Amino acid sequence: MTKGSAHYGATLTADGGLPDVASRAQVAVYTGIGVPTLARWAIEGKGPKFRRAGSRVLYRREDVLAWLEQLETGGAVAS
């Protein structure tokens, strides 16, 4: 069984990563952010960049990873 196969019916790559082009459900499994939240963020102009292919919403892996990288992190600042 691949990572996330029971969550939103989405599967990731064999090594637990995102495919080059991922569905919203796959992004949800990878990030731990719910599909409804990703959908709401898309409407609000937040979250990772996405594209539409007909009625499908698709995310490029590099866009998801770039978005994750730019998020602020918590915790103490190293001195």
Question: What distances in angstroms separate CA 46 from CA 31, 53, 64, 71, one per listed residue?
Answer: 15, 19, 12, 11
pLDDT tens sequence for the chain (79 residues):
344 444 566 778 787 789 999 999 999 999 999 999 999 999 999 999 999 999 999 999 999 999 999 998 877 666 5
Judge contact between 23 and 10, C-beta under 8 A: yes
CA-CA-CA-CA torsion sign (60, 62, 64, 67): negative
Residue 8, pLDDT score: 64
